[in-house]
Structure 1
Amino acid sequence: MAVQNMSPEEFKQVHNSGNVTLIDVRTPVEFREIHVRGAMNVPLDRLSADNVPQRSEDEPLYVVCQKGGRSAQACQKLDAAGVQNIVNVEGGTMGCHAAGMPVVKGKKAISLERQVRIAAGLLVLTGVGLSFVHPAWIALSGFVGAGLVFAGVTDTCGMGMLLARMPWNQVTDTSCCTTNVKSAA
């Protein structure tokens, strides 16, 4: 079982030629802001082989995210779970939009990446500031720095996963998103 990769331009041709099964693994708030028309939202932290859309085994399952990182992780996760015929759309939603694919736009939000930068910056500044009160507080800045290095090396961001679960990153109006998909039996 190997995951295939496809450029946004190639995916545009496939998307325009007919019905495709496309899941977007970003957070519901990111999905609400902009997504490829016809995509279903199944956030990465909730993704499993049991909640991918039902389809025939020879029909590809296309996976997309913002720029391609999370969709690659999702494809690996699904491949390890035995899901067949998975295609990672490289370049993500932004690449598809740049390639001229039809997208659905909704309410604007601060991207998860920007939220991580804001939170990390605030924690580092807080650690430095409090280190004047007691030198041990500098460890907070060191901890954040180590977390950022870990995130860069592993392409897994604990702070991003935590922020994704925050109330401001949840969608109460689910009319924009399809998260309840049938099991692939």
Structure 2
Amino acid sequence: MTITPVKPAEARRLIEAGAKLVDIREPDEHAREHIPGAANVPVGALDGLDTGDCAVVFHCRSGARTDANASRLAAAAEGPCYMLEGGIEAWRRAGLDVALDRRQPLELMRQVQLVAGGLALLGVVLGFLVNSGFFALSGFVGAGLMVAGATGWCGMARLLKLMPWNRRMAATLA
């Protein structure tokens, strides 16, 4: 089965006609912002997806994740299969409803990006202003990002998951 790209207006028409909308992002991303009525089924949990023979519209944030997993998504759907071009970002730009819960923390990967960038910048500034040994902080952060990219394991993400604001979010998702 193939997956057909659709623009937001067409996706909305399909959903109104009975298609199931499936958000393939991670639960922390979905909790912060989602299209109302979308079921959250991350790519890693597609085996549990039950669509029956109804049409399915898959989406992610920008469309890149959906496109990268198109064959896997098409295989998981039992009926006609579509992907929202441009993801939730295109949906929002088209003026369609998006539920945003600012009480939820930023997505974990955005938190990692902010902390890693801040620590790298801090290491450079302190290296120039205080002691050149602080450059090692930037090197350590860079090495951690390289390990995360090469292995898929991110120590900073694991540490950030333990922070109180992220534990609260996990409790609301359970």
- TM-score of the two chains, using structure 2 as the length reference: 0.68
Report deviation, 1:14. Answer: 1.9
* Matched-pair contact (CA < 8 Å) for 1:26–1:43: yes
**2:11 alignment partner, SS class:** helix
Aligned residues: 162
- Larger helix percent: 2
Q: 1:37 to 1:116 in 2, by over 3 A?
A: same
Q: How does 1:135-174 map onto structure 2 within 5 Å?
A: 139-143=139-143, 146=146, 159=154, 162=157, 166-167=161-162, 168=166, 170-174=169-173
Deviations for 1:127-156, whole angstroms, at most 9, x for unmatched residues?
6457933876664254357579x69xxxxx
Query: For residue 12 of structure 2, what is the aligned residue in structure 1?
Result: 12
CA contact (8 A) 2:20 2:38 kept: yes
Report if the CA contact (8 A) 1:124-1:144 is conserved: no
Q: Who is 2:85 aligned against?
A: 90
Take 1:142 and 1:107, find their aligned partners in 2: how far apart are those partners?
A: 30
Superposition RMSD in Å: 3.7
Is residue 55 of structure 1 aligned with residue 48 of structure 2? no
Q: CA–CA distance in 2 between the matches of 1:137 and 1:76?
A: 41
Considering Cα pairs closer than 8 Å and 6+ residues apart, tell me whether 1 or 2 has the greater RCO: 1
Q: Which residue of 2 aligns with 1:132?
A: 132
Structure 1 residue matching 2:99: 3-state secondary structure: strand
Structure 2 CA distance for aligned equivalents of residues 33 and 90 of structure 1: 21
Which of 56, 66, 70 is residue 71 of structure 1 equivalent to? 66
Partners of 1:54 and 1:135 lie apart in 2 by: 52
Cα deviation digits, residues 79-108 of structure 1 (max 9, x gap): 4xx334432212211221222333333344
Q: Which runs of 5+ in 2 are unaligned?
A: none
Name the residue aligned to 1:28.
27
| Higher mean displacement: 116-125 or 32-41 | 116-125
SS at 2:170 equivalent = coil
The 10-residue stretch of structure 1 (59-68 or 138-147) with the greater mean CA deviation from structure 2: 138-147
Name the TM-score, length of structure 1 as normaliser: 0.65
% identical equivalent positions: 24
Q: Is the 8 A contact 1:127 1:141 kept in 2?
A: no
Q: Which has the larger radius of gyration?
A: 2
Deviation at 1:22, TM superposition (A): 1.2
